[in-house]
């Protein structure tokens, strides 16, 4: 709750400060003459929004303002860049790299101890194009389309414990599943709101399709110094066609 109140308070303060800006205070000298020549409305819009040749970078804030955390989520890419080919057209590139690991202990009837470690790694990239519309002085609505490609790997190993976290003396195992590939595409609508010059908050929602093909799994086990290796074939693939919020709220900067 304190985190939410702090973020809301800072946002309100920033908006109030920006609302008091006047065109005269924002521009001076040759810039003032140039913007007046182009028209006050266009001058105000240019003060906040990026133009052709600008690059933006942004981070996804998972959970929104009420439960803020910087996470990679929704196959969208927490870290994203955009290059504006035109004032209203941008190329976008996102990266989603996540790694989760855990270690769980198993115990025998006495003081014996074993463990199982697991590690899951996801690497996803999206590349697409983004079309912006006029909007308002600070608001920049757009539509976009992305192509998504990625890979997920799963690895686990244990000593004196089975994959089911059961203690087993003189036993070790290692299991690898390294080739789960994902392909997909997504159509989105979104908007950026510039809280200050070249600083914005953004949201996106979209509809996407993804297909994941699961690779083979190789498991090596050793029990009482006898080693066996088993390779399991792919379990198949799965696909999904779903709507969703893309990366929650995003905080971005243009330069």
> Would you tell me which CATH number, out of the four given (3.30.200, 3.40.1130, 2.40.160, 2.60.40), belongs to the domain 51-254?
2.40.160
Question: pLDDT at residue 83 above 50?
Answer: yes
Across the range 61-79, mean pLDDT stands at: 48
In DSSP notation, 166-179 reads -EEEEEEEEEEEEE
Token match 């004196």: residue?
Answer: 160
Question: pLDDT at residue 21 above 80?
Answer: no
Question: pLDDT at residue 216 above 70?
Answer: yes
Give me the pLDDT at residue 157, please. 96
Bridge partners of 156, per DSSP, are 118, 175
115-118 long-range CB contacts below 8 Å, 24 or more apart?
A: 115/158, 115/159, 115/160, 115/161, 116/156, 116/157, 116/158, 116/161, 116/162, 116/163, 116/165, 117/156, 117/157, 117/158, 118/154, 118/155, 118/156
Which of these ranges, 44-48, 59-63, 167-171, 225-229, has the smallest mean pLDDT?
44-48
Across the range 147-152, mean pLDDT stands at: 92
Which H/E stretch holds residue 162? none
Question: pLDDT at residue 2 above 50?
Answer: no
Question: pLDDT at residue 26 above 90?
Answer: no
Q: What is the pLDDT of residues 97-116, one digit of tens each?
A: 888 999 999 999 888 999 99
Which 3 state secondary structure label does DSSP give 21? coil
Q: Where are the domains of the chain?
A: 1-48, 51-254
Q: Are 191 and 135 spatial neighbours (Cβ–Cβ below 8 Å)?
A: yes
User: DSSP secondary-structure letter at 46?
Assistant: H
């Amino acid at each position: 709750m304190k985190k939410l109140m702090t973020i809301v308070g800072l946002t309100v303060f920033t908006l109030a400060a920006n609302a008091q800006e006047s065109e005269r205070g924002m521009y001076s000298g040759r810039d003032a003459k140039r913007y007046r020549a182009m028209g006050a409305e266009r001058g105000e819009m240019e003060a906040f929004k990026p133009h052709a040749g600008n690059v933006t970078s942004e981070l996804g804030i998972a959970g929104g303002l009420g439960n803020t955390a910087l996470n990679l989520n929704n196959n969208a890419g927490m870290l994203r860049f955009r290059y504006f080919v035109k004032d209203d057209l941008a190329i976008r590139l996102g990266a989603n790299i996540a790694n989760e690991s855990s270690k769980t202990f198993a115990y025998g009837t006495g003081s014996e101890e074993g463990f199982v470690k697991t590690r899951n790694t996801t690497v996803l990239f999206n590349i697409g194009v983004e079309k912006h519309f006029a909007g308002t002085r600070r608001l920049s609505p757009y539509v976009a389309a992305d192509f998504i490609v990625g890979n997920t790997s799963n690895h686990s190993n244990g000593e004196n414990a089975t994959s089911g976290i059961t203690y087993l003396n003189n036993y070790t195992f290692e299991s690898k599943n390294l080739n789960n590939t994902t392909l997909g595409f997504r159509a989105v609508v979104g908007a950026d709101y510039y809280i200050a010059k070249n600083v914005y908050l953004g949201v996106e929602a979209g509809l996407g399709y993804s297909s994941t093909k699961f690779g083979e799994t190789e498991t090596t086990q050793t029990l009482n110094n006898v080693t066996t290796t088993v390779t399991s074939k792919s379990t198949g693939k799965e696909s999904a066609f779903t709507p969703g919020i893309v990366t929650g709220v995003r905080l971005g900067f243009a330069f």
